[in-house]
Structure 1
Amino acid sequence: MSGLPPFAAPMPLDAAAPAALETTRKAPTSAWYALAVLIIATVLGSIDKVILTLLTEPIRQTLSLTDTQIGLLQGAGIVLFTGIATLPLGWLSDRYDRRVVLAACVVLWSAATAMRGTAMDYGVLFVASVGLGVGEAGLTPITNSMIPDLFPRAQRVLANAVFALSAIFGSALGALLGGTIVHLTDDLRPWLPVSMQQLEAWRLTFFVLAAAGIPVVLLVLSIRRTPRVGVPAAKPGAPAAVATGATTLRAHLREHWRTFAGLVIGVGLTSVGLSSLGTWLPIVTARTYGITPVQMGQGMGLAFLCGTVAGGLLGVGAMRYLQPRMGPAAALRLIMLCNFTAALLSTLLLFTRSANHNFMLLGLLVVPLIGSAVLLPNVLQDAAPAHLRARTIAMLTMASLPFGVVGPLVVGMLSDALKSVPNGLAVAIVATTLVGGALGAMVLRATEGPFVRLMRAAQPT
């Protein structure tokens, strides 16, 4: 396969233009505005997702949920249907106006958030989580498709880092604001309609967050339409065109299937445990130490903020140091090392003795995970031509579905099976994380050869 087409720019470059021009151009103000709006939409999605974790205990008590049901809610309810919806949304994003597709996604997940507040049983809560997952499925393919078209290659690494870190800060902001919103909603009860004054705080919180989606939709639609680099301009009102003779998705995946399979399985096995940490660590903290949603939000928020700053510096700094020495293998080795380090650190959960200890552990775990997260978008964007970028990332997301579903569910089932064991939930979390992390690291190590060949083929000439 020939090298990938030139990377993103606000306007298509002449094919005969010298490569040096791509490194000297600067993104216009409209590109940074678009990035800011993408960040806002992603932050809202992060808040809507993380708020369920904060409110799991009061919801569990109201609806009498088991740990297995909670695991299904987080795994199948959100992760499974997020992955299933990613491919069709990626296809729509490659063919139609990405702003409209993203705005529709925001509307859907905001409506699903409101539906959570109406849930009177597990079934309604599960359906609402499915809607949230489907709506948020558009974020990954759309943002990873737009950023390379908004920024020249010289600025794309910075733009990706800003976006990745902002998305993680969204989780921290969601944790901080989630607990505060719960507290403020209680204070505002006298001002609410009589029919709502008797509702539980967690229901009112979902309604407030759903309303926040309205201004975000308007912001998304205000983004200037971004042409796709390397793809001929489409006629007005027609789907985005695909260059004549361009590589097809099937051919691209078939040629590099070893690389993609290794990335999906290696990262997926690691995420079996690491996704469980994000889901279950706050739950085990609330259950063991009886803290309130406000305390949980403050502790989680500070842990995410501190860990994100340190992890971002770690990822960028390590990449700058190792890239000249290791070449294309540097990114994969850093991702593998960071993920396995987080899996090893999870064993400290068996020795914590307070909620503050758990929050400190969460902050420590976030550092290597963010170090890995800031590198992955660049790897994925380099691994596909511009006209296939959204669908390639969507396919990889779909392929990773089983791992995202299995993680929270396995922990929930192990926890139910270990109810008679002291600290059984913590044991289930650590066991799942260690096994998945070790297997994932081995697969990523075996993937290094085909990965390096793909990255070398992808380098612009």
Structure 2
Amino acid sequence: MAVQTEAALTPPESKASERAPTGAWVSLLVLIALGLYTYMDRQIFGLQAEPLRKALGLTDLQFGLLQGVSVALFAAVVGYPIAWLSDRFDRRTVLAGCIATWSLAVGACGLARDFNELFFTSALVGAAEAGLLPIAYALIPELFRGGQRQLANSLFIVTGRLVVGLVIAMCGWMIHAIDLWRPLLPDVLQALPTWRLAFFATALPGILFVPMILLLPINKRALALPQPGAPTAVQAKQPSVWPFLRSQRFSFATFMLSVGLLVFGFGATGAFIPVVAMRQMGVSSLELGNAMGIATFVSAGLGLLIANVGMKWLAPRLGPMLPVRVLAFAAAASGVFAATLYLARTPVELFTLMALHHTFLMAGTMVFPTALQEMTPAPLRARLISLIIMFNMVLGSLSPAVVGAISDALKPRPDGLMLAMTATSTTALLLAAGLMLLCGRGYVQTTRAARAVEAS
């Protein structure tokens, strides 16, 4: 439907003008690789949760703060300025700076000696990561047109989700390899615990990614060609973010809250399923990495199948309401399966239910970028997307801390962490489903307003 909406409100173009150059596909491939790379730090936290927690004497609440609030703290502050820079300067330079900072911050996590130092370095990781999604979601509509834009959005999400299972497994193998090859390391590194070495190893690829980004065949102004007859940048008055946001406040407020709660619910299980598996079920780091990798890969594949088949069947019935209806259904179904996690008694049961829980989240995620792009006018896209993503990061970041605080309060119960995790996730996801249904009341009007801003 995104393609239909775009086509209805913009002048027709030739197929040749819609065909993206090779450089656009190369750029998309690098964006996908960067998304996977910046996912690794969270896996190190998860796979080395217990050794790290014991080494630094962390409580469950402190560990939850490290995975949530610390990441969102600086991200909420710097996200909009990064988006502002990416709207005005070469996106390659801005993105390369983000990745360089991210790599240095991840390496610094391996040097942390206490909670305060790890909290600060984790906050720097979140700040550096804040630029990736706004730049990617704003760049894709400039690199691709028509049907190829929908395809590029799908590939950015689907490829990342399908391969992220392999990334999780690779992190488990990396940790295992560190212990296996420890005698071959320099003497100064052999005495360091595995979790510190894992952070160092994760930071190293940044040395390759930074020059790769700077050499990408991207020229934003050349690729984002204006529509025939459209006024030039000098002729056109640049629209402002805040008047548009105020005029469409109901749609944006309900959309932001819904997606924020969806991320909140996902974070509650994503941060603590590894801890539950290791603490209550005795799963090793290698077994945990393999199991989570398989579960994530399977859920991404099933989510892709459900989204494609379901959306093709529902499109004629729901029309432009399709994205918000799919997101609402996905949140509700995922919430139901989040509740069933409490029933797991073995690792096999836990990771099977995790795969089902994540399947519907993945299905909803497939339509999120297009829904967001349709709600935002091109001249304001990076900044509006940044505001939405940063708001959702802040709200979503609270879930590990909430789960940790509830778990600490339930310490006498052997299943306290499991109960805190499932109750928090289920409640958030069901609320997200209701809010997304409310968003549908103004969603179509907002997409039309966005196209009107572009046309003017």
Report the TM-score, using the length of structure 2 for normalisation.
0.92
Instruction: Give the 3-state SS of the residue equivalent to 2:39 in structure 1.
Output: helix
Which AA in structure 1 matches 2:338?
A: S
How far has the Cα of 1:79 moved from its partner?
2.8
Match of 1:56 in 2: 49
Measured against aligned partners, the alpha-carbon deviations of 1:411-437 in whole angstroms (never above 9, x if no partner) come to 100000011123111111121122212
Confirm whether residue 429 of structure 1 aligns to residue 421 of structure 2: yes
Equivalent residue in structure 2 for 1:135, among 128, 133, 137: 128
Residue 53 of structure 1 and its aligned partner are, at CA, apart by: 1.3
The letter for the 2-side match of 1:448 is G
In structure 2, C-alpha distance between the alignment counterparts of 1:401 and 1:152, rounded to whole Å: 29
In structure 1, C-alpha distance between the alignment counterparts of 2:164 and 2:309, rounded to whole Å = 23
Q: What are the within-5 Å matches in structure 2 for residues 357-368 of structure 1?
A: 357-368=349-360
Paired with 1:6 and 1:346, the residues of 2 have a C-alpha distance of 36
Amino acid at match of 1:284: V
Residues 1:260 and 2:252 aligned together: yes
Cα gap change, 1:39 to 1:401, in 2 (>3 Å): closer
Q: Do the aligned partners of residues 308 and 137 (structure 1) sit closer, same or farther apart at CA in structure 2, a change above 3 Å counting?
A: same
The alpha carbon displacement at 1:438 in A equals 2.3
Paired residue secondary structure (2:295): helix
| Sequence identity (%) | 35
Secondary structure at the counterpart of residue 300 of structure 1: helix
**1:27 equivalent in alignment to 2:20:** yes
Q: Provide the C-alpha distance between the structure 2 equivalents of 1:243 and 1:206, rounded to a whole number of angstroms.
A: 50
Which amino acid in structure 2 is aligned with residue 418 of structure 1? L
Q: Distance in 1 between matches of 2:381 and 2:85?
A: 12
Corresponding residue number in structure 2 for 1:45: 38
Structure 2 distance, partners of 1:129, 1:140, is 18
2:386 to 378, 390, 394: 394
> Are 1:248 and 2:248 counterparts?
no
Which one of 196, 211, 229 corresponds to residue 218 of structure 1? 211
- 1 CA distance for matches of 2:331 and 2:73? 22
**Which stretch shows the higher mean deviation, 28-37 or 447-456?**
447-456
When structure 1 is superposed on structure 2, of 270-279 and 32-41 the one drifting more is 270-279
**What aligned pairs does 1:162-181 form with structure 2 within 5 A after superposition?**
162-181=155-174
Deviations 1:104-162 (A, max 9, x none): 11111111111111112111111111111011111111100111111112111111111
Deviation string, structure 1 residues 241-296 (Cα, Å, up to 9, x no partner): 68622321112111111110010112222332221111111111111112111111
CA contact (8 A) 1:26 1:151 kept: yes
**TM-aligned CA deviation for residue 458 of structure 1:** 4.5
User: Gaps spanning 5+ residues in structure 1: where?
Assistant: 8-14, 233-239
Aligned position for 2:180: 187
Matched, 1:122 2:102: no
Give the 3 Å change call, closer, same or farther, for CA 336–443 of structure 1 in structure 2: same
Cα distance, 1:184 vs. partner?
Answer: 0.9
2:268 corresponds to 1:276 = yes
Q: Is the 8 A contact 1:176 1:300 kept in 2?
A: yes
Distance, in Å, in 2 between the alignment partners of 1:300 and 1:246 is: 46
Q: 1:226 to 1:312 in 2, by over 3 A?
A: farther
1:354-390 alpha-carbon deviations (Å, 9 max, x no partner)? 1121111111112101101110000111111212111
Partner SS, residue 225 of structure 1: coil
The one of 325, 335, 360 aligned to 2:327:
335
CA contact (8 A) 1:418 1:424 kept: yes
Shift of 1:189: 1.8
Pick the aligned partner of 1:309 from 293, 296, 301: 301
Instruction: Say which SS state the counterpart of residue 328 (structure 1) adopts.
Output: helix
Report the residue type matching 1:87 in the other structure. Y
Q: CA deviation at 1:405?
A: 2.7
Please report how far the alpha carbon of residue 190 of structure 1 lies from its aligned counterpart in structure 2 after TM superposition: 2.2
Contact 2:260 2:391 in 1 (8 A): no
Per the alignment, residue 145 of structure 1 pairs with 138
- Is 2:410 the counterpart of 1:418? yes
Deviates more, 1:214-223 or 1:295-304: 214-223
Aligned to 1:235: none
Are the counterparts in 1 of residues 130 and 390 from structure 2 also a CA contact under 8 Å? no
1:86 offset after TM fit, Å?
1.5
Structure 1 residues 46 and 84, CA gap change in structure 2 (3 angstroms) = same
- Structure 2 residue aligned with 1:12: none
Q: 1:22 deviation in Å?
A: 5.7
Among candidates 170, 188, 195, match of residue 202 of structure 1: 195
Query: Does the CA-based 8 Å contact 2:327-2:367 persist in structure 1?
Result: yes
Query: Is residue 336 of structure 2 the alignment partner of residue 344 of structure 1?
Result: yes
1:444 paired residue number: 436
In the other structure, the counterpart of 2:317 is 325
Alignment partners' CA distance in 2, 1:242 and 1:184 = 57
Conserved 8 A contact 1:109-1:132: yes
Taking structure 1 as reference, are residues 372 and 447 closer, same or farther at Cα in structure 2, changes over 3 Å only?
A: same
For residues 242 and 383 of structure 1, the distance between their equivalents in structure 2, rounded to whole angstroms, comes to 25
Counterparts of 2:241 and 2:52 in 1: how far apart (Å)?
A: 43
Matches within 5 A, 1:368-387: 368-387=360-379
Which amino acid in the other structure matches residue 190 of structure 1?
A: P
Alignment partner of 1:19: what SS? coil
Q: Distance in 2 between matches of 1:129 and 1:252?
A: 34
Q: How far did residue 444 of structure 1 move? A: 1.6
